[in-house]
């Protein structure tokens, strides 16, 4: 058993824990890094993996994590730049929220044009959202006769999940005119917003 | 789909012209779509009217003398 170097990085914010962990693993076969926040946990883990180490993690009481980095036999130490990402972009779905039938505030006629242009362009993007949520006047974009319906259908056909607020459809008395997506509720909406990796609102 | 139709875009001096033209096309039930000006045409944040090639003459007739437009371009698919 080789000796393990212990790096206490509690109380430190990124990029500090990553810098300390990197210095330690460059000089030692095995390093235990103690951090007390998720961002540090993710970034130290990512650095360790990139450096070609075996990485194991253990959660301790009080939001503390112990990350053990072990150099693989014969592994070269690539010079990995210290990176500090708030959270992994793949952590949750890419969600687009349309809370209005317009884009931006100030002029409604212009806002209506902009939201059409936005959805048209979104439908042409290679990277499409995982989920789109429509509430308040945003639901008017999803009903029959809406100028935006074709683009939303294109997005739905490409696998984008479209959630439309049922309370809102009801309020505007257009529930029977829904042209795309599924009637959803506040439970699904809150759950989806909460686990979103990226949230975009036009 | 058996090949997407050829589209043209009609470009205007200003957003308000495009909106005015759109109102006319809407009232005459001529199919069209208001889209952002494609990047390869202009990097300005503008909008234009897209329509299928076979509608070109009827659209030009409809807005003739009512709305001034800059030009019509064919869209590469």
Give Cα A170 to chain centroid, integer Å: 30
- Map out the domains of chain A as residue ranges: 4-86, 90-200
- Return the SS3 of A46: helix
Using a CB-CB distance cutoff of 8 angstroms, which residues of chain A are in contact with residue B47? 113, 117
Contact assessment for residue A183 and residue A80, using Cβ atoms and an 8 Å cutoff: no
- Return the SS3 of A173: coil
Q: What is the pLDDT along chain A (202 residues), one digit of tens a residue?
A: 567 899 999 988 888 999 999 999 989 999 999 999 888 898 899 888 888 889 999 988 888 999 999 988 877 777 777 777 765 555 789 999 999 999 999 999 999 999 999 999 999 998 899 999 999 999 999 999 999 999 999 999 999 999 999 999 999 999 999 999 999 999 999 999 999 999 999 9
Query: Which CATH entry fits the domain spanning B7-74: 3.30.70, 3.40.190, 1.10.3720, 3.40.390?
Result: 3.30.70
Residue of A nearest to B48 (CA): A117
Burial of A78 (0-12, 13-18, 19+ CB in 10 A): exposed
> Is B47 close to A117, i.e. CB distance below 8 A?
yes
Work out the minimum CA distance from A181 to partner chain B, whole angstroms: 22
- How many whole angstroms separate alpha carbon B11 and alpha carbon B34? 11
Any chain B CB within 8 A of the CB of A113? yes
- How many whole angstroms separate alpha carbon A95 and alpha carbon A92? 9
The topology under which CATH files domain A90-200 is Hypothetical Protein Ychn; Chain: A, (3.40.1260)
- Return the SS3 of A49: helix
Using a CB-CB distance cutoff of 8 angstroms, which residues of chain A are in contact with residue B34? 113, 116-117, 147
Work out the minimum CA distance from B43 to partner chain A, whole angstroms: 14
Which residues 130-189 on chain A approach chain B with CB closer than 8 angstroms? 147, 150
Contact assessment for residue B50 and residue B9, using Cβ atoms and an 8 Å cutoff: yes
What pLDDT, on the 0 to 100 scale, is given for residue B1? 45
Residue of A nearest to B35 (CA): A117
What pLDDT, on the 0 to 100 scale, is given for residue A175? 92
Q: Give me chain A's average pLDDT, please.
A: 90
What pLDDT, on the 0 to 100 scale, is given for residue B2? 52
Any chain A CB within 8 A of the CB of B75? no
CATH architecture for segment(s) A4-86: 2-Layer Sandwich (3.30)
pLDDT digits (tens, 9 = 90+) for B30-75: 999 999 898 888 877 689 999 999 999 999 999 989 999 999 999 8
Work out the minimum CA distance from B56 to partner chain A, whole angstroms: 21
Res. B26 pLDDT band, cuts 50 70 90: very high
Using a CB-CB distance cutoff of 8 angstroms, which residues of chain B are in contact with residue A121? 36
**Nearest C-alpha neighbor of A53 from the set A79, A33, A30, A23:** A30
Q: Give me chain B's average pLDDT, please.
A: 89
Residue of A nearest to B19 (CA): A113
> Is A117 close to B34, i.e. CB distance below 8 A?
yes
Q: How many contacts (CB atoms, under 8 Å) link A and B? A: 19
Any chain A CB within 8 A of the CB of B19? yes
């Amino acid at each position: 058993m080789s000796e393990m170097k212990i790096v206490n990085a509690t109380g430190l914010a990124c990029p500090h824990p990553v810098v300390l962990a990197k210095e330690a693993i460059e000089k030692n076969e095995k390093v235990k890094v103690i951090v007390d926040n998720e961002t540090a946990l993710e970034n130290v883990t990512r650095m360790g993996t990139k450096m070609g180490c075996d990485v194991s993690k253990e959660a301790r009481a009080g939001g503390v994590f112990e990350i053990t980095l072990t150099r693989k036999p014969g592994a070269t130490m690539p010079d990995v730049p210290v990176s500090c990402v708030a959270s992994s972009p793949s952590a949750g779905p890419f969600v687009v929220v349309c809370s209005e039938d317009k884009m931006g505030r100030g002029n409604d006629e212009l806002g209506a044009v902009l939201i059409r242009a936005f959805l048209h362009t979104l439908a042409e993007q290679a990277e499409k959202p995982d989920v789109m949520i429509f509430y308040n006047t945003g639901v008017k974009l999803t009903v029959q006769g809406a100028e935006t319906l074709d683009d939303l259908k294109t997005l739905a056909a490409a696998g984008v999940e479209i959630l439309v607020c049922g309370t809102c459809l009801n309020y505007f008395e257009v529930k029977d005119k829904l042209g795309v997506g599924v009637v959803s509720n506040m439970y699904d909406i809150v759950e989806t917003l909460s686990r979103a990796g990226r949230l975009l609102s036009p | 789909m058996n090949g997407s139709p050829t589209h043209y875009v009609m470009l205007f001096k200003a957003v308000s012209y495009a909106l005015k033209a759109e109102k006319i096309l809407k009232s005459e039930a001529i199919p069209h779509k208001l889209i952002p000006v494609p990047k390869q045409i202009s990097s300005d944040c503008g909008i234009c009217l897209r329509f299928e090639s076979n509608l070109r003459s009827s659209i030009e007739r409809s807005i003739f003398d009512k709305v001034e437009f800059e030009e019509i371009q064919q869209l590469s698919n």
